[in-house]
Amino acid sequence: MIKQLSQRLLGPVTLLLLVLTFWLGLWVTPPDRIQGNLVRMLYVHPAVAWVALYVSFGTATIASVLYLWKRTRSGTLDRVAHCAMEVSVVFIVLTLITGSIWGRPTWGVWWAWDARLTSTAILGVLAIGYLALRRANDDPVLRARRSAVFAIVSAINVPIIHFSVQWWKTLHQGATVFTSNRQLLVHGSMAWTLLLSFLGFTLLFFWLLRARYRLEVLREETQRATLDLALEMRQREGAR
């Protein structure tokens, strides 16, 4: 009962949080002293990047690790990893697009071969490579195993992205909310709106993951039904 209720509320709550985020971000929060109204990208880009790098790619990686562990290995985990990686590709692309929109008036260019931008783009290429690898294997067990290993290896790039602004001199700014000494950089209505954006986009990921998982289960069931029908027809032809 509780599970069904939470599933039904996931979509409406996600929509409510995103609507509140955009309303507060566009009309309620004040402009920045330096960036002016451009600061309103703060309520979109960091949250999208959070989902792309940590939530979605992290979900795919954890599911892959659990799949490789014999005690927890299951087709469900393989589907979760696959679907989470697909959603991750979407959010990585959105991260690069929103970052470019923010970077054009700030840096004067749409793209710079900055350490964080480049490593994020590489992560997107790796995620697409993961999806391509799945299409290159017909054996479901072999496909799941190879994909899981590839996802785990690709995840090494995530900490590189995270620490890139500390390891190299980059155009990309450092921490958005806290400095290295944990000093809060965002206050008041801006802080609350930023928090809502993180919650809203995180729930959006889980809503998309749930929807994509359902489609994957339906696709597998349809594929099995089609195969069973083809075998049945072949048997009938052989019996004549």
- Given pLDDT bands bounded at 50, 70 and 90, which one contains residue 167? confident
**Taking the C-alpha atoms of 210, 214, 220 and 225 in order, what is their torsion angle to the nearest 10 degrees?**
170
Confirm if 17 and 203 have CB atoms less than 8 A apart: yes
Q: Which pair of tokens denotes residue 24? A: 């507060």
Confirm if 96 and 123 have CB atoms less than 8 A apart: no
Specify the DSSP class assigned to residue 217: H
Q: Which residue has the higher pLDDT, 4 or 201?
A: 201
Element at 178 (helix H, strand E): none
Q: How many CB atoms lie within 10 A of CB 105?
A: 11
Q: Which pair of tokens denotes residue 47? A: 């949250």
Among 1.20.120, 3.40.50, 1.10.3470, 2.60.40, name the CATH number for the domain at 13-212. Answer: 1.20.120
Distance between CA atoms of residues 18 and 153, nearest Å: 33
- As a whole number of Å, the end-to-end CA separation of the chain is 52
Quick one: average pLDDT of 54-67?
A: 94
Specify the DSSP class assigned to residue 112: -
pLDDT of residue 201: 95
Quick one: average pLDDT of 167-180?
A: 62
Confirm if 48 and 201 have CB atoms less than 8 A apart: yes
pLDDT of residue 178: 47
Q: What is this structure's pTM?
A: 0.86
